[in-house]
Structure 1
Amino acid sequence: MTATKPRLAWLSDPTVFEINRVPAHSDHQFFASKDQTKKLTQSLNGTWRVHLEPDLALQDLAFTKPDFDHQHFKYIQVPGHLQTQGFDGHKYVNTQYPWDGHEELRPPKVPAKNKVASYIKTFTVADELLDKPLFISFQGVATAFYVWLNGHFVGYSEDSFTPSDFELTPYLTEGENYLAVEVFKYSSASWIEDQDFWRLNGIFRDVFLYATPTTHLFDLNVSATLDDDYQTGLLTVTPTLTGELSERTLKVSLLAPDKKLVFEKIVPLSSDLKVATTITDVCAWSAERPDLYELELTLVDQNDEVVEFSTVKVGFRRFELKDGLMHLNGKRIVFKGVNRHEFDPIRGRAVTKEDMLWDIKFMKRHNINAVRTSHYPNQSLWYHLCDEYGIYLIDEANLESHGSWQKLGACEPSWNVPGNLPEWQATCLDRANSMYARDKNHPSVLIWSLGNESYAGKDIELMGDYLREKDPSRLVHYEGVTWNREFDQITDIESRMYAKPAEIEEYLQNDPQKPYISCEYMHAMGNSLGGFKLYTDLEKYPHYQGGFIWDYIDQALYQEVDGHKRLAYGGDFYDRPSDYEFCGNGLVFADRTVSPKAKEVKELYANVKLLPDQTGVTLKNDNLFIDTSDYFFTAKVLQDGHVVWQKDYRLNVLPQETKHFELDYPEVTEGEVIHEVTQRLAHDTTYAQAGFEVAFGQAVYPKLPKFVPTKAPKVVLGDVNIGLSGENFEVLLSKDKGGIVSLKYFGQEFITRTPQLTFWRPMTDNDRGAGHGFDRAMWLAAGKFAKVVDLKVETLENAVQVTYTYELPLPEKVLVTVTYTVDGAGKVNLKATYPGHANLPSLPTFGLEFKLPKRLENLSYYGRGPAENYLDRKEGSRLGLFETTAKKEVAPYLLPQETGLHSDVRTLSVTDQTGLGLKVSADQQAFSASLLPYSTMMLEEALHQDELPQVPFTYLRLLAAEMGVGGDDSWGAPVHERYWLKANEPLTLAVTFEPYQK
């Protein structure tokens, strides 16, 4: 592209998005020798000089000259963002543009306060790159940048997330070369890069030099598909060559996954060269078996000397619409996906290979088979890793203009871009082409996405047309047509965001014309992912082909506060406008520790479903291509949570088949019995070692304990207190405090204050977004300000029973009873009953909160675990015996909220470091419980984890039940009604306390 306008005018002109940029091309590797020792690349990563000016009016182009004195410039690491290295302030916004409220702008104008960073790097060209055409590649620069070498202008580029290459040859000097790069924070491109993320800029991906030999494989298009039998590979190699072609040949070699040569051909070079062949009995590529062939291309001169050697991994696979459904290699596919931002809490989007390996191994371990590269092409290495490990990709173009057409949630496209505007057409097509050209050879890429949340229009339609013409082997995806059905033809797939299960089911049941995916669903903000099973249950409909959870990782950055480091969110850096904690939606926390939500994903995304019963187990193998021979299955029998029998089996089920296996379970007649079967890796893999658990299943045959008093206690009916005692224990029940005020075993006190009725759980992000506080605010104070209106003391056989009746401070008269039944053996049976009442909102929870001495910080329990679990999120939690501590039970959500709950609890014990403590047992019905170092109200009030106080207590919540946490979205979707605690239905907590010594 050429431009006649003044240089700075390019920034606000959408028709100018590159000057002198090399055409986009494939990311294949090339060398000067076949042994790959003679590299033709030279990294410029590392320490650069930089200076940041607050706006373009203060820029000084003197820095582009080699004689410029840059000693006052500071140092910066490349790749890296300016903001993460202290050169600019952090800013997080979602839909709104970052200048909203500060400057009144409409596209394509740019803010006057447009910070400009002047970068300097000096380098000497490596010997192996000398005397050849030399190029520089910027793999990612945000948002617009100009390049000079030795004082000469080289070029200009936009599109933050695809490579920009320029030729340097005419401007090189012997010895040291002086590279100057000017990076602007905003350009017209900022209007179409309005993604939901931290607005970070700078040179944040790799920068390197590369030289090209006299004959160079500039671009490579590899088509590796399957014939109609899905067993014969069809390979077509189309190279684009530059330089000398006469008297030169190309040797094309294909090596199988076992490195055996399966094809080789030598052809003379020409401008329209194409090599095609068939491969019989091909090893097809899929996420289940990511078999890769290696394609080698050797350019040889007339003296049989290697001019250039190139290599690319090839995966044979066929992705197609067949009978209205998406098929991979002839089988209907289901995407078990997640959206992934590139993110690190220190480096921002400048992620490393180590980060990517951690991410991809996490995904494989959690049965995630697909990623949408939200919302831009990722680093090139990510695609190579997805090819190697087996991850399906929706590759998304760098296009989002959310704030131009949606304001405060309402669709208002009066000035949206790009729309049908001709001046935005070329840059949109360029972004589609840049993505396609680089990523076209990756088997992991199944679908091209035309960007995210940019409404619809002719410009986006043309992007889709272009990609279909260039690449008919893939489908085109675009969700934005749901806002403008006039352009429904843009997308090959019915794709929606945050559609509720019932809405999706309605589509699936009414003659669907396209396959369905949720490109975003299950908004995993804070304590979320409740009701996930309602979505995976839709897999029974053929047109439902999965979805992509929003999202993979919390976008939180480290911040120093009063001498300590914390993970901070939007607004914490006094960035305004901001969308605050809305950046925390991950299955993993920003520091790459795993959140409790991931357990649910792992189980519901598992390809093999295990259904134990009294005689054996049924295995349902949902894999498309692999049987279960690479796994072993461990069967266990548990009695009251203890493993009493265990045996390993090799059970083979073919893909897409279901089979029942008889297992030789021993008969267990006492206690509660569980039959459990787990699926485990039989061999080491690239992502986990042999023995790693892939999935589990349980069958539970319940038998819960019952309180039976054994002997009568000693009774003292005082004026204020009722005293009950026996050997090594004493209980005081207060008449004026409304409950138990003392519980002593072996002379140690276990009660610090009368336990408080609780109807409130600390609000989750989903609660806040759905208006839970407004709808259910009356329950917040219902327990705290309940008053005793009646006290009843009864003498039973072998026990004394004291019943308190509380009236709740509600607009309707509601009476709750709490009964303590104490026997002479030191057992205290507690029964709290909410009778149910119409005309009230549903309850967040019901039970009691105990303020225990801090020493009681160790928790052992027989219930669902090990991760926290809830009424609508417990498929990934098993019934068993677990040990933890109060501190470990706090999931570090960006905004403190409900955490640490365990459902279906049979027994628990809280103990000190000596093992002395309390045991709490269910009385004929399971309960829910949590042990935390913070009270409900402490979690409710804090805005960050480091704001939670250090207190000398531990808080035990014993609950009849708690409502679900929800997860359809975090800005209005309530918890599904089936997971409510309806106010008109009674609730009872029944447990028994006794002393415990570990």
Structure 2
Amino acid sequence: MRHHACHLSGGPLFHDVLAREDWQNQTITHLNRLPAHPTFASWRDLRSARENQFSAHRRLLDGQWQFSYARSPFEVDASWLENDLADSRSTPVPSNWQMEGYDVPVYTNVRYPIDTTPPRVPEENPTGCYSLTFSVEEDWRAEGQTQIIFDGVNSAFHLWCNGEWVGYSQDSRLPAAFNLSTFLKTGENRLCVMVMRWSAGTWLEDQDMWRMSGIFRSVWLLNKPTLHLSDVQLTPQLDALYHDAELEVNATVAAPTPLLEKLTVAVELWNDTQQVARHQQPPGSPVTDERGNYAERTVMRLPVERPALWSAETPNCYRAVVSLWCGDELIEAEAWDIGFRRIEIDNGLLKLNGKPLLIRGVNRHEHHHQRGQVITEEDMVQDILLMKQNNFNAVRCSHYPNAPRWYELCNRYGLYVVDEANIETHGMVPMSRLSDDPSWLAAWSARVTRMVQNNRNHPSIIIWSLGNESGVGGNHEAMYHWLKRNDPSRPVQYEGAVRTARLPIFSARCMPE
């Protein structure tokens, strides 16, 4: 055991963080991770947001990082928080370390790759220690909130910045964001990420695929102003005749309560260069109960006459720009591509915009023969074009949420997407052992709710999936009811529902035919 005490500030000691063994506990899905939210760019002018231009407040940290490999977290020397270890070498991020000469990739279908009892994982737990030195300008450090966002890390990680512990996250397939504001300094900063190959989350990730590890998706810095939009949910709705529409906007503002009355939230809807609708109002939701309302939330509904409808054949996208104002001063703007369409099941028939929908779909893993689970935008476009050229119109994200850019491309190119929670317990005996265990409900909930909170603004997503091959249990039922309450605009499917009458949901093992 080589780790030593390291205490650079007021946070927990390095060995105290490891001694907790958070990765062995299924009830600890994260520590200090920010709530899930859609992709943000924090533009500071409306035109850049509308045209999806480069944002100076969103910075990519991909590139060459330093990397050191250990057989266990407990073999890592705490001095790594201050300086790279002697055996460190440069490695690309994103990457899987098994594709860079460390450890070995494992392929298995049903059988778990580890032989322990849930939620425990082996003490000999391959560990990757990533470090990066990066610079931060004074205006980023002094003003607002600077987040770091990991789009995908397999399977769990602890994060330190300038020697101070920041937080912990598990779930290999959803973004994990942390607030770095109090840890940063002007000039050079040191980031350290300890990635464990196995964690309690591994028991929910028994998909039929190659098992690999590391920071395999992009890493970002995002600078938000002190007063900012912390969440935006966009729900386009069609009327009963599928002619006219309404855009429902639910926005949440991060601001001290006394300042909320000075702020307003605006929504602009654009069809290319033509503004279709605009509305602006102060925060404050409708009265919820006898104790009042949510002062930080606002709900707006914008009528839209005869919008061009979205489908895989005609992927008509509008640009929704949501902005925060203090008087006449723009604080920030966020924007997304949206599409007007209605997906529903009518007497057992899947319909889009009132017409029967024939699904011609594929199951798609994120995999590259040389890079493992690292997928570039060029790879994504190639897959989309190949599917379109062969008359496929749909894709199931098998069996986990994909990289954020994937959904943006599907919106624009036109593909129907089944977005699937990162849950599979195929190797359990019985398969329902964890799905019917309430001690795993927090893990189930995090994987389903965060998927929706991250991805719900994408018109390409027409169905939510509760996961794959994990039996049927109370955790599934709880998540089904949460989904129907929080997003009634989409059907819910689950592969395992074909074997039970307990879940009143759409069931299709692959895709409906």
Alignment TM-score, normalising by the size of structure 2: 0.90
Identify unmatched segments of 5+ residues in structure 1. Answer: 406-411, 497-517, 520-544, 547-998
What does 1:265-284 correspond to in 2, within 5 Å?
A: 265-270=279-284, 271-284=296-309
Aligned counterpart in structure 2 of residue 135 of structure 1, from 125, 147, 164: 147
- Provide the C-alpha distance between the structure 1 equivalents of 2:478 and 2:46, rounded to a whole number of angstroms: 41
Pair 1:455-2:471 in alignment: yes
Letter in 1 for 2:480: G
- Aligned equivalents of 2:133, 2:434: Cα separation in 1: 39
Q: 2:63 maps to what in 1?
A: 46
Match 1:26 to one of 31, 38, 60: 38
Question: Which residue pairs with 2:413 in the alignment?
Answer: 389
Supply the RMSD in Å over aligned alpha carbons. 1.9
For residues 194 and 128 of structure 1, the distance between their equivalents in structure 2, rounded to whole angstroms, comes to 44
State how far apart, in whole Å, the 2-side matches of 1:128 and 1:321 are.
51
What is residue 134 of structure 2 aligned with on the other side?
A: 123
The alignment status of 1:172 with 2:184, answered yes or no, reads: yes
> Any residues of structure 2 matched to 1:652-671 within 5 Å, and which?
none
Q: Determine whether 1:230 maps to 2:239.
A: no
Letter in 2 for 1:279: V
Shift of 1:181: 0.7
1:845-856 matches, within 5 Å, as none
CA 1:282–1:428 in structure 2 vs 1: closer, same or farther (change >3 Å)? same
**Aligned equivalent of 1:354, options 367, 378, 391:** 378
Shift of 1:324: 2.7
Change (3 A) 1:248 1:57: closer
The yes-or-no answer on 1:114 pairing with 2:128 is: no
Deviation at 1:494, TM superposition (A): 3.2
Q: Deviations over 1:116-136 (max 9, x none)?
A: 111111111146634221111
Distance apart, 1:448 and its partner CA: 0.6
1:228-627 superposed matches below 5 A: 228-243=240-255, 244-256=259-271, 258-270=272-284, 271-302=296-327, 304-405=328-429, 412-413=430-431, 416-483=432-499, 485=500, 488-496=501-509, 518-519=510-511, 545-546=512-513
**1:282 counterpart letter in structure 2:** P
Q: How far 1:255 moved relative to its partner?
A: 1.1
SS, match of residue 176 in structure 1: strand
- Aligned 1:96-115 pairs, distance under 5 A: 96-99=111-114, 104-115=115-126
Residue 456 of structure 1 deviates from its aligned partner by 1.0
The answer to whether structure 1 residue 9 and structure 2 residue 25 are counterparts is: no
Q: More strand per residue: 1 or 2?
A: 1
Say if 1:355 and 1:126 are closer, same or farther in 2 by CA, change over 3 A. farther
Distance 2:55 2:487 in 1: 33
What do residues 124-174 of structure 1 show as CA deviations (whole Å, max 9, x unaligned)?
Answer: 114663422111101100001000111111000000000111111111122
Q: Deviations over 1:492-544 (max 9, x none)?
A: 22324xxxxxxxxxxxxxxxxxxxxx44xxxxxxxxxxxxxxxxxxxxxxxxx
Residues 191 and 417 in structure 1, CA contact (< 8 A), matched pair in contact too? no
1:150 aligned onto 2:162: yes
Work out the CA distance in 2 between the residues paired with 1:353 and 1:491: 37
Counting only pairs closer than 5 Å after superposition, residues 891-902 of structure 1 correspond to structure 2 as none
Report the counterpart of residue 70 of structure 1 in structure 2: 85
Match of 1:11, SS? helix
Equivalent position of 1:204 in the other structure: 216
CA distance in 2: counterparts of 1:343 and 1:400, whole angstroms: 18
CA deviations over 1:611-633 (Å, ceiling 9, x no partner): xxxxxxxxxxxxxxxxxxxxxxx
Q: 2: distance between equivalents of 1:447 and 1:186? A: 30
SS at the partner of 1:31?
coil
Q: Secondary structure at the match of 1:289?
A: coil
The superposition leaves residues 758-802 of structure 1 with CA deviations (integer Å, 9 ceiling, x where unpaired) of: xxxxxxxxxxxxxxxxxxxxxxxxxxxxxxxxxxxxxxxxxxxxx
- Whether the aligned pair in 2 keeps the contact of 1:107 and 1:417 (CA below 8 Å) is no
> 1:491, 1:123 → 2: CA distance?
50
SS of 2:424's partner is coil
Maintained 8 Å contact 2:359/2:394:
yes
Distance in 2, matches of 1:249 and 1:313, equals 22
Which whole-Å CA distance do the structure 1 matches of 2:38 and 2:334 have between them?
12
More helix by share: 2
Cα distance in 2 for partners of 1:368, 1:330 equals 21
Matches within 5 A, 1:790-809: none
Q: Secondary structure of 2:46's match?
A: coil
Distance 1:10 1:78 in 2: 24
Q: Give a deviation string over 1:19-54, Cα, whole Å, max 9, x none.
A: 000011112443122243552111111111111111
Question: 2:18, 2:74 within 8 Å by CA — same for their partners in 1?
Answer: no
User: What is the rounded CA distance, in whole Å, between the counterparts of 1:194 and 1:307 in structure 2?
Assistant: 44
Deviations 1:715-746 (A, max 9, x none): xxxxxxxxxxxxxxxxxxxxxxxxxxxxxxxx
* Cα offset, 1:491, TM superposition: 5.0
TM-score normalised to the size of structure 1? Answer: 0.47
The separation in 2 between residues aligned to 1:432 and 1:16, in whole angstroms, is: 16
What SS does structure 1 have at the residue aligned with 2:434?
coil
Match of 1:90 among 96, 105, 126: 105
Is residue 360–residue 393 contact of structure 2 (8 Å, CA) maintained in 1?
yes
Give the aligned residue type for 1:478: Y
- SS of alignment partner, residue 482 of structure 1: helix
Aligned to 2:167, the other structure's residue is in SS state: strand
Instruction: Say which SS state the counterpart of residue 21 (structure 2) adopts.
Output: helix
Find the structure with the greater CA-based Rg: 1
Q: Does the 8 Å contact 1:140/1:160 carry over to 2?
A: yes
- Relative contact order: is structure 1 or structure 2 higher (C-alpha 8 Å, sep ≥ 6)? 2
Separation (CA, whole Å) in 2 of partners of 1:247 and 1:105: 56
Aligned residues: 479
* Aligned residues of 2:18 and 2:73 also touching (Cα < 8 A): no
- Paired with 2:402 and 2:162, the residues of 1 have a C-alpha distance of 31
Does the 8 Å CA contact 2:135/2:187 hold for their aligned counterparts?
Answer: yes
Out of 5-14 and 20-29, give the one that drifted further: 5-14
1:182 matched to 2:194? yes
For the residues of structure 1 that align with 2:483 and 2:95, how far apart are their CA atoms?
Answer: 32
SS in structure 1 of the partner of residue 251 of structure 2: strand
Is the Cα contact below 8 Å between 2:41 and 2:55 reproduced in 1?
no
SS in 2 for 1:169: coil
SS at match of 2:379: helix
Shift of 1:245: 2.9
2:370 and 2:73 map into 1 onto residues whose CA distance is: 28
Contact 1:52 / 1:117 at 8 angstroms: preserved in 2?
A: yes
| Separation in structure 1 between the aligned mates of residue 31 and residue 424 of structure 2, nearest angstrom | 23
Q: Residues 31 and 460 from structure 1, CA distance in 2 versus in 1: closer, same or farther, beyond 3 angstroms? A: same
2:128 is matched by which residue type in structure 1?
Answer: A
> SS of the residue aligned with 1:442?
coil
Cα distance in structure 1, aligned partners of 2:406 and 2:368: 15
- Secondary structure at the residue paired with 2:401? coil
Deviations along 1:167-213, one digit per CA (max 9) or x if unpaired, are 11111122111111100000111111011111111001111111111
Q: How do 1:871-910 residues align onto structure 2 when only pairs under 5 Å count?
A: none
